[in-house]
Each structure stands twice: as structure tokens, then as C-alpha cells.
Structure 1
Amino acid sequence: MKNKQKASSDKFTMMTQMPVNKLICKMAVPTIITMLVSAVYNMADTYFVGKIGTSATGAVGVVFSFMAIIQACGFFFGHGSGNYMSRKLGEQKTEEASVMASTGFFSSFAVGVIIGVLGLIFISPLSKLLGSTDTILPYTKQYLFYILCGTPFMMSSLVLNNQLRFQGSAVNGMIGVTAGGVLNILLDPIFIFVFKMGVGGAGCATMLSQAIGFVILLIGCTKKGNIRISFKNFRFKKQLYKEIFRGGIPSLARQGLASLAMVAMNRLAGGYGDAAIAAMSIVSKIMNFVGAAVIGFGQGFQPVCGFNYGAKKFDRVKKAFWFSVKVTTVFLIVAAVFGFILSPYVIALFRRDDTDVIAIGSFAFRAQCISLPLSGFIVMANMYLQTIGRAKAATLTAMSRQFLFFVPALLLLVHFFGLTGVEISQAAADVAAFLFSMPICLKVLNIMMTEENKIQ
């Protein structure tokens, strides 16, 4: 018991006293790796399924919008419970953090089972609702079947990973996610080509990889200094779910609305053929990979923000925020330049023999590269607001990029410019979201620093 208390005390000291620049980098390395590996999960499926055909590639893109819904629910419980845990650990109230950890985990697993069962019962109408054309539909059902079977593991793995991260134990989370990601890459070609399972093989590989990663993450929770998951700590209490809702609703809004936006994009792109769906799917996966690095860095910032906010060290929170904005913006500028120049070659990696896919994808990718550097501030502002418990402001900024601006831009631009409207809609939404998020975030930062002055 004394060793556990000492480990918790040492972690608290590190999180509240180490220079924030060094601390964020220390926290961010494993979370960046974790996010990139998670992105590779989806890119691997797209790459190998791309060898089958354009319709199969489109099917993976269609199902990806459903996987984003699963991720949204996982982030809801993971960020909701994790934000609360980091603040309580900052206040050195370990028992309350332990109760929240188990409540968040078991709740997410139960929701995952419900979604998986309902999805299997209604798999055909669900596939059509997600945007499948008649030619894509058979491939969608094959792939979606296995994704639905693995839903409880996928959802609760996200919860465990985020809870470990908010405790300052991101390395344990990284090990579980990385192991699953590497396994998925190895199993994809075996199931697709050797076992001749086609697109269903990609789904099966993803399901098995998620399940194994889930077990490794559970083991990671038993490591020294980490909060253990135990059913005896589960509490079905209104106050706990209120905290999960407050901390998790911005993530649910951000990720959930992003999935709905993908469904809308797939349905509108489908009017221009399977090549359009496949191209936009490829662009989404590439941008998801780039964005994963930014989100990973932001996830390194969040526990630093949560611990120090809970300890009322607001000056460290402000320094951590602006350091994170600067680093991610510089990274995105470099990525945007290279992406703009190499766009056709990057798209061709996934569908080399389909010139329509390359042409549509290249233009859309370049359009998004133009607005890409703005995402650094948008993401960090949202994570800052979410971590300190500003649920309304965080939810608004989360909704802005993928719902408040993207869907209207998509509908409006498609009406006037057709397929070109589909290709440029995300870039237009990014600019609007940046202009919307900045004043909200700066106002909250100023309020926080006013509190800092009162404490001093």
C-alpha cells in the first residue's frame, strides 16, 4: 500500500512541477504513437482491400463512418471518466478516481454489446443508411459483420487507453494499442489473400486485433501506480454519469458528428460513382493519419492540463496550451506543404490503376492541405476546454468543424459546384471553425488567469 501511495505521490510531483514543455513531450510520445497506430488500423484495411477493387475500397470507407460512431462512444466514456480522474488525482483523491475508472469501463462494454447486437440484427438497412451503393453493398455487409462482433472490445479499449493516459501512464496504453495495430497489419494479407476471405478478412483481422489489444490494456491497468479495474468499484450513480457526460459530451459531439458528416459525404459522393466514394474515403484515411499525430500530441497535453488545473496551477496550464498550439501548427504546416506537392503519388498508393480515383482524391487532398495548419489551434482549444470541465464551450467547438460548418458547406457547395463542392467542403469548414473557436478559447483562458491572480 505504501509503495502504491509513493508511486501516486511521485506521479503528482512530476505532473505539477516538471517544466511543462518537457513534460508534454514526455507524455505525448506514447500518445502520438498510439494515435498513429490506431490510424494505421484503418489505413491498412484500405491499402490491402484496395487490391481487390474500387467497390471494396468504397465499402471500407462506408464502414469507417460507423467505426467512427463506435469510437465516439468510446471517447465519450474514456474522456468523460478520464478527465474526472485526472482532476481527482490532481486533488490527490485516488479512491474517487478508482470508482470512476470502473464505472466508465463497465458502462462502455455494456453499451458496446448493445450496439453490436442491434447492428447485426439490422445489418442490411444499416449498410444502406451509411451510404452504400448497390455495387458496394455486398462488400459493406461482409466487412461490417466482423466490426459489429468486435464492437464491445473496440469501445472499451478506447476507454482503457484514455484512462491510462489521463493517469499519466500513456506508455501502458501505447503498448496495448500498438500490439493490436501491428497484429492487424500482419493478419490483413493473411485473411484477405491466403484464406481468400476478401473484404471480410480485413474485418476479421480488425476484430481479432482489437480483442487482443483489449486484453493487453486490461493487464496494463494492473501495473504499479495505475488504477485497477474492478467490478466492486462500479457504481450506478447519477452523479458519476453526470461527470462522464460533462467530460465526454464534447468528444461524443466531435467524433459522433464527424461520423455523421462522413455518412453525408458518402451519400453525396455516391451520386458521382464508386470512384468518388473510394477517393474521398482514401483522403479521409490520410487526413485521419495526419490528424492522429496532432490529437496524440494533444492527448499528451490533456493530463498535464488536468493535473495542474486540479492543483490550481493555472499559469502552467496556460504555458502548456500555447506550447501545444505552436508545436502542432508548425508540424501541420510542414505536412501540408509535402502533402500538397506529393498528393497524386500518395493517393496512387491505394488505387494505382484507377485514374478517376487518383484525380478526384488528389484535388480533395490538396484542398484540405490548404486549411490543414488551422487544425492545431482548433484541436488544442477543444481539448483544453474539455479537460477543465467547460462542457458547453468544448461541445460547441467540437461541433463546429464537423457539423455546424461542414454539413452546411457540403450541401451548399455541392449544390453550386457538384463534385468539386464535395472536394472543397472540409477546407471551407476548417476556416470557419478556426474563426469560431478562437474567441471562445481566448475568453476562457483570460477568465482562468483572472482566477490565478486572485489566488496569488
Structure 2
Amino acid sequence: MSKGYANAKIEMMARGDVGRALFTLSAPAVAGMLVMSLYNVVDTLFVSLMNDTAAIAATGIVFPMFQLVGAIGLTFGVGAASVISRRLGEEDHEAAERTGSTALYSALILGILFSLFGLIYMRSILTLFGATESILESAVLYGRIIIGGSVFQVLSMCLNNLLRAEGASLHSSTGQILGAVLNIVLDPIFIFLLDMGLAGAAVATVISQGIGCFYLLSYYLRGNGALHPLSVVHFRPIPAICGPMMALGVPTFVRQVLGSISLSFLNNAAGEYGDAAIAATSIVFRLFMLLLMSLMGVAQGLQPLVGYNFGAGNIPRVRETLRKVLVTTVAFCTVAGVIFYFFAPGIISIFASRNQTVREIGTLALRLTAVVLVPTGLVLMFGGVFQALGDGTSALLLAAGQQGLFLIPLVLILPRIFGVAGVVAAQPAGFLLAFGVGLLLFVRTKRMLSEREEDSGPTER
């Protein structure tokens, strides 16, 4: 039964209707990523009910550190998923098995080491990330609990991608949704009922992620998968296995690391204008992530479909998938951008009804973000396509430009010219510049697909 289920998923990627296959793979991923991002927003909402601007700012300061640790799991998961999808398309199941196991155990080992490092140097890292004197103690309290339990986040990030690589997108997203819903339920209990305050928000997050992680593991523990990543026998940390995986995982790691570094620059720049500026940028960043996570769900859904068919040499099917994805992305981002722009004051007031400064800065930041949502969405799709096709170089160039080469200089330059408006304009401007780079790389990729299609001749869709 389990093998039949796994084979049905692979058959869907190989010969099922493209639109239906893309929806089947993307919808659960979008739902999971949306709910996961939503609980970050809800987490901020519950913390904001404490009427403590420092507490809201503290969660924003810790976030890039949490993102860095989670990047370990994401790096191995994304890199492995692309390799696995293409190996399954090539019918090389042994290589797929070794890639899955090596990714999971490598992520676990490095995740634990990074977490220990973070716990030991917590205070210094948070200061580097922009914590002011008034925020530091709250950030350290919150951060020690979050980072102490981050192994669940590392494993979940890796498992989610392994599951999607073999078409088990529904189970992956159900695990994300389970953790998110639990977090939403537990937040008010730990923060208010048990009177734990900010520490309660962190405890609720760790418990929820732990349960979600065990749910993801249950798929393989029950023997439902086409792969067996829990098998230590297939753990082979050798260049032949790690090389292709890291070539595609490193761009994700670079994007996450540069994202954390640029966010720390952003927090430091906002700190020059007080805790209210940090709180405002933190709120808008969480809202921005709500949209980015849903778009990342689409990018994750396209990867197994594109990767499998590229490995199988079915280029027309790859091109059809790309066309549907890009049209959907533009439509979604246009609608979301209009809503964010015109309803920005009301949206920000939900999180900062009593602080006029936070509302003013947040409204400006949200409107600037809304203006660049379409190019931002396309940047994410371009990155997903490059990784699905095994083009690590293009993925790396796009990731480095998006979060580092453009954003960090903009954070340093724009505030000197425009003050606090320059702080909140830096990230939208960075995505706009990254779109230019991504478009050039995508045009080259389309040319490569056309040449590959001409060489292979007509193929069944």
C-alpha cells in the first residue's frame, strides 16, 4: 500500500496533468508555509498584547539568529530535494536514498553544533544583531529558549524538503500546519494564563515545533515513503554524495545567512531611531514573510515537478510548468500588493494601536513593500527554478544579490540620505535590483531549455 502510494506520486509528476500536478504539490506547501508564517505573525500579535514595545522588538532581534540555525536544515533539505527529484526521474533510486539519509543526519549534527554555539555566545550575537540596552535582556531570555529547542526546526526544514522531493507534499504541509495551529493555541496559555510573558511565547514555539517534527518523522517511521532517509546504512558523507547536494544547498544557505546579516544591519539602522523603529520594521517583516512563505510554497511545489521531468528529459513539460507558475505568481502578488498598499494603516494598527510612531513608520514600510511584491515574487520563482534544474551557480548569484550585494549597501547608504524612510526602503529596493539580475539569468535558462528541447526532439507531456 505504501509503495503504491509513493509510486502514484511519482506517476503524477511524470505523466499527470501539469496544472493538477502543480496544484497537488503546491497547494499543501502554500498552506503549510502560510500557516507557519501566520503563527509568526500571531506570535507577534500575542506579544504585542503585553503592551511592551521592547518585547516586540526583542522577537525581531532574535529572528535572524533563529533563521541562521534553521538555515542548516533548509540547506541540506533544498539541496537534497533537487538531487533526489532528478535522480528519481533518472530511475537511480540508490543515489536518491544515499542523498536523503546523508542530508538528514548531516543537518542534525550541524544543527546541534550551531545551536550550542548560539547558546554560549547568545548575548554577544544579539548585541551584534542590533539589540539595544533596553531590549537585550528580553532578547536573551527569548533567544535562549528558542535556540535551545531549534533542533526541531532544523530537522523539520530538512524533512519538509525530502518529503516534497518524492511528491509527499500533503504530509509535509500537514506537519507544518499542525505545529502552527498548536503554537497559536499554546501562545495565550503560556503568555497570559501561566503568566510567563515573553518566555511563554518561546516555550509555546518550541513545544509546537517538536510535535510537528515528530509528525513529519512518522511518515518514514511507518514506511510510507519511496525513500528511507532514517536508515543509517545510507548515510554517506562523501564528496560524490555531498558535492551535488551542496552545490544546490549552498545558495539557500548564502541567502539565509546574508538575510540574517542584512536583517541585523537593518535592526542596527532602525535602532538609531529608537525601539519604535525596530518594532515597526519587525512587524512589517513578519507580514512580508507571510506573503514570502506562501510564494515559497509555490516555489517548493514546482521543484519536484520541474526536477523530475528535467531529469527524465521531458522539456516541454518543464516549460509548461514554468509558464503556469509565473502567471500565477504575477496575479497573486498584484492582488496582495493592492491590499497591502491601501489598507496599510489599518493592518499596522492591529499590532500597534497605542504607539503612533510605530504606526507611521510601519505604514510607510508596508506600502513600500507592496509596490515591489510582483518582482519579489518572481525573484523567488526564479530561484526555485534554478535549484530544480541543478543550476547552482545561477541560484547562488541570485541569492547573493538579493540578500547581500544589494541589500547590505542599501541599508548602509539610504538611511544617511532619507533617515528612517531610508531604513524601511532598503529591503524593497534590494528586491527590485535582485529582480533585474534574476530576469537576465532566467532568460539564459529559457535559452538552455530551448536548446535541450531541440536536441532531444518531441517528448510526451
Distance in 2 (CA, whole Å) between partners of 1:126 and 1:250 is 23
**1:292 equivalent in structure 2:** 293
Please, which moves more after superposition, 384-393 or 423-432?
423-432
Q: What is the alpha-carbon distance in structure 2 between the residues aligned to residue 113 and residue 413 of structure 1?
A: 38
Q: Which residue of 2 aligns with 1:36?
A: 34
Q: What amino acid does structure 1 have at the position aligned with 2:361? A: I
C-alpha distance after superposition, 1:301-322 (max 9, x if no partner): 1111011011011111111112
Q: Which moved more, 1:121-130 or 1:352-361?
A: 121-130
Give the TM-score taking structure 1 as reference length.
Answer: 0.97
Q: Cα RMSD between the aligned structures?
A: 1.3
Amino acid in structure 2 at the alignment position of 1:359: E
Pairs within 5 Å for 1:114-133? 114-133=113-132
Aligned with 1:451: secondary structure? Answer: helix
Correspondence 1:247 to 2:248? yes
Matched residue, 1:141 = 140
Point out the more displaced range, 5-14 or 136-145.
5-14
8 A Cα contact 2:74 2:158, kept in partner: yes
Pairing of 1:409-424 with structure 2 (within 5 A): 409-424=410-425
Equivalences for 1:351-366 in 2 at 5 Å? 351-366=352-367
Counterpart amino acid of residue 60 in structure 2:
G
CA distance in 2, matches of 1:9, 1:124: 50
Aligned twin of 1:71: 70
Indicate yes or no: 2:15 matched with 1:17: yes
Whether the aligned pair in 2 keeps the contact of 1:276 and 1:360 (CA below 8 Å) is yes
4+ residue runs over 2 A deviation: 3-13, 221-226
Identity of counterpart residues, as a percentage? 33
Q: Tell me, yes or no, if the aligned pair for 2:2 and 2:223 is still in contact at 8 Å.
A: no
Deviates more, 1:411-420 or 1:269-278: 411-420
The Cα of 1:107 is off from its aligned counterpart by 0.8
| Deviation by residue 1:342-391 (Cα, 9 ceiling, x = unmatched) | 10111111121111111100001101111111122211111111111111
| Aligned counterpart, 1:398 | 399
1:87 aligns to what?
86
- How far apart are the structure 1 equivalents of 2:232 and 2:146? 26
1:327 & 1:144 partners in 2: Cα distance?
37
Q: 2:10, 2:166 within 8 Å by CA — same for their partners in 1? A: no
In the TM superposition, what is the alpha-carbon distance from 1:6 to its structure 2 partner? 4.7
Question: Does structure 1 retain, via aligned residues, the 8 Å contact 2:77–2:249?
Answer: yes
User: Following the alignment from structure 1 to structure 2, what is the Cα–Cα distance between the partners of residues 373 and 169?
Assistant: 29
What's the counterpart of residue 338 of structure 2?
337
Per the TM alignment, residue 4 of structure 1 is displaced from its structure 2 partner at its CA by 5.8
Q: 2:345, 2:92 → 1: CA distance?
A: 53
- The answer to whether the 8 Å contact 1:169/1:226 transfers is no
Mapped contact 2:108–2:155 kept (Cα < 8 A): yes
Equivalent in the alignment of 1:109: 108
SS of the aligned residue for 1:224 comes to coil
Larger mean Cα displacement after TM superposition, 299-308 or 94-103: 94-103
User: In structure 2, what is the equivalent of residue 50 of structure 1?
Assistant: 48
**Matched residue count:** 454
Letter in 1 for 2:329: T
- The whole-number CA distance in structure 2 between the counterparts of 1:101 and 1:294 is 25
Moved more, 11-20 or 369-378: 11-20
Aligned-partner Cα distance in 2 for 1:47–1:146: 19
Letter in 2 for 1:177: Q
Give the residue type in structure 2 aligned to 1:249.
Answer: V
Aligned-pair CA distance for 1:247: 1.6
Q: Secondary structure at the match of 1:272?
A: coil
Report which stretch shifted further, 62-71 or 337-346.
62-71
Query: What CA deviation, in whole Å up to 9, does each residue of 1:234-284 have, x standing for no partner?
Result: 112122111221120121122221111111100110010000000000000
Cα distance in 1, alignment partners of residues 94 and 314 from structure 2: 22
Q: Which runs of 5+ in 1 are unaligned?
A: none
Bigger mean CA offset, 6-15 vs 358-367: 6-15
